[in-house]
Structure 1
Amino acid sequence: LLTDLAGIEPRTVDIPFYSTVTGEQIDTSALDADYWYRNLREPVLFDQTARLLLASGGDPVFVEISPHPVLTPALEEHETGVVTGTLRRDHGTPAEFLAAAARLFVAGVPVRWPSPDAEPVVLPAYPFQRTRFWLAGGAGDVSAAGLDSVDHPLLGAAVEVGEQRVLTGRLSLATHPWLADHSVLGTVLLPATAFVELVVRAAGAAVEELVLEAPLVLPADGAVDVQVVVGEPDETGRRTVDVRSRTDGWVRHATGTVSGKPVAGQELTQWPPAGAEPVTGLYDTLAAAGYEYGPAFQAVQAVWRRGDEVFAEVTVADAARFSVHPALLDAALQPLALLAGTEGDVRLPFSLGGIAVHRTGVTSARVRLTEVRPGTYAVHLADRSGEPVATIEALTTRPMAERGPLYALDWIPLTPGEGALGDAVVSPGSVTEALAAVQDFLAGPGERLVVRTRGAVAVVPGDRVSDPEASAVWGLVRSAQSEHPGRFVLVDADELPDGLSVGDEDQVAVRSGAVYVPRLVRCAPEAFDGRLTQAGTGSLDDLAFRPYEQAPLGPRDVRVAVRAAGLNFRDVLIALG
């Protein structure tokens, strides 16, 4: 830094300059390379400098020029003067900048507003300049790409395809950091209420039904592309709606139906409700059950209960450009734990019916939750005056998979017993050869056939599946074993030891002369990372058989890729129909 800034020659300016390096007013001619070197190495005397400015007299005005307020809260603690930022994270728009200028203006600070006759200055280009046409989220000019801008925090662009409408956006914890505050069992999930928000915004009408099929796990790094597709109307006027995400491949997370059928709201004018008793410790109860809410989602201000009814007040700081802020609606659902109970596994929304938004952009709401049938609840939100804000006529929750003991497949040493290995031994080189050998054997008088493979299974540490064709043979014979118990033995070995006998075992592997058999063993919980897995990702990124993906298919061929333990070929064929 000293070398790079050595040629700078600062000069004195007319505007007084207060330094957070020295904690005093200084002449700006001292802002040389050594000053900025000290600026990086020495403590920031921000509070001392702020107090000096406040003591200088007059009516101080503090403007933090930054992409997000960092120093403003510290200045506001002094409770004097005018304090404002210029931009905010996720709200860095010209409108936000002008709003900051307006706050100064109403406080008596002279603002030189743009003249209607002024023309903008064309800024010079810079290396690697680029223009974005597909937005990562937020509104912008995408017309050059034939798209419509969408003024929404989670969506950026839309396009009409006939009578079908497609909206897109991009979500990440970098651009939407508040989403990191919604975690279940250690995994950051897009809240179900965000799917509701996406569908309501895309459809522009009441949602008749919405079913959540798979969770959307938000990665710690990187972004997820989101797509909302509203289909063409059928003869009744109904439209389908799907929500998908993409990291490697597209995954459908939610599907539903949109109709023009009105959904009535409910007024909540008497508040707090008569006869309702206050409830405390909600977030302690939820945390003990596995719900991990950060500050952005801890929006419940008060809770009451009256028999089978639960009431709550919820508040978020900013709901601009949302129909209903997902954190606000999620907070409205959090007291459902008082009705559903928190014993056992975490319950997550599964289906929602009769969804309507009656008023948008609300930051505070009253909530009424009632059970309409076991496991299904009605949700009503109203504003502070009691007027309806949003309605969910039927919300059904489901528990997550039961968390019992964990087991894994392991290969353990076997002490060879007495007895013959089998009537015959074959070493098929392909699935076709294996199928023929199995069929011929079943048609004959033999009692036990040994099928030998090489590199079909991973057994000991450092071992791996080295022959995909052999692994396929292994799967085929396992299917035959399930249909004809006791008639087939699978042996994976480079060399068969002399006198090998395996007793009643039907699967064995030989490594360096030692014989191993598969067993289910109990695993320590720390052997797993404890995170939720996202079913149906549509991705085969862990599949090791990449060369075979490019193999040409014949007219009657089907390429099948399986990435699950415990499946055999019969399972796959059943799945294929």
Structure 2
Amino acid sequence: LTELTLQTPLTLPEDGAVQVQVVVGAADATGQRDVAVYARPEGAEQDRPWARHAEGLLGSAPAEAPATESAAWPPAGAESVDVAEFYPAAAEAGYGYGPAFRGLRSVWRRGEEVFAEVALPEPQQAEAARFGLHPALLDSALHAIGFGSWGDANTLRLPFAWTGVSLHAAGADRLRVRITAAGDDALTVEAADAAGRPVATVSSLVLRTVTAEQLAAADAPENDALFALSWTPVPAPQARPDTGSWAVLGAEGEELSGAARYADLAALAAAVEAGGRTPEVVVHVLASRAEGGVGLAGAAERATADVLALAQAWLAEPWAADSRLVVVTRGAVAAGTGEDVVDLVTAPAWGLIRSAQTESPGRFLLVDLEPVTDETQGAMSLVAAVGAALAADETQIVVRGGGALAPRLVRPGATDALVPPAGAAAWRLDTTAGGTLDGLALLPAPEKSAALAPGEVRVAVRAAGVNFRDVLIGLGMVPSQTIMGSEGAGVVVEVGEGVTRFAPGDRVTGLMGGALGPLAVTDHRVLAHVPEGWSFEQAASV
């Protein structure tokens, strides 16, 4: 295991179980593979997103077992330490170890080194052969960290980043452990069997301080009642609806060919009572304008009062029981990321009619057309939008981008996650709208997979730097906006003609246009080899 970073604790419920998924990617040019660990509660709905708990890299070459210093145990010069009170003291600090995890038997110290002997309790010893390294035995080996001079012994810390983890033998039920410092906030762990033969090594283990409150938050059950509103596409009708059975109210508004127009509902009611045809659909377009010096708030109040009177009169008409009143607005609803409500006069009508819909199902339909712009030319027509709503039995429809959208409740995070564009060989993170970071999206980047020009290098990005310019571009504050992401680190996958300094498999860092994505193409002269011992994150941030 070349590296593994734990992102959030995976907690088990008191009752029930969790589903765990380990995903291993394809090998890159160096033979390394991405690996990630996901989980979700057992019995969760199929659309419940998997939470990612850890991610890292698997190496291709087997690790070489370290040489043991001697078969003498405990090591010469090491002083014994009493461990009798370790687990009671750990419980007070917040570590609640169950019987299977109380495997620490003996501890010795020699300067900055800590040695320990750990063993599985008898009930678990028979299970040791099932594992490469029994998880309770590995955890017990790490308990000896508490006897070193690293950090505050009274602080609760959990493993965070593992580097260079290798297994040399399987099935051990007892370990001899040596722990030493490996730089700032990092430790090296070596484990051998009772005869001193290597079992496992960890080149670097970084611990992260956590609080009881953080663990409690991670352990808290998800609130299944928490949802967000998402406007999702509704199929367009296959054929144009027959508007011959429709009626339109008002002297002005959308022109619907074939539909009869009436000055108001009273005029329509009089025509029906006189023997006229009862319309299946009655369309009323709300006017959006402030008149008579009442101002915006006064106009909104007046428009809402008019809609209330119309709804009450509509419900009072016996002949309208099997008809649908369509209330039409334009720009009165925000249906997408970064979209504003532009018609504040008619916007309150949506709340009022929604209430009427709950009281009288099947009697009302809300339709919001696109605000009038130069791009509105190809927008879906009112007739098509109403037809789509009737065909899908929707109560609310918003027309945006030439199509109809209906509201759906979804789990938070299911819609605000950035999803790579379908079918795109490469993509990049960039902004689609200025002003807020809500406009961030993953956009196709075909140039990333195009043939290389002389002197160019294609890099599989492992980490990308983010600087103040990227933030300003994301906020739309950079004139003649350029592509986000200008620096990164990764592995060379291909070199262009004339490139001799780099070869596929090299770890490189430097300037990379559009580095916020899986691939980047850049000039070889602005790249450098990653110094040995640096992580990709460190390299990308320099």
**What's the TM-score, normalizing by structure 2?**
0.40
User: Of Structure 1 and Structure 2, which has the larger fraction of its residues in strand?
Assistant: 2
**What's the TM-score, normalizing by structure 1?**
0.38
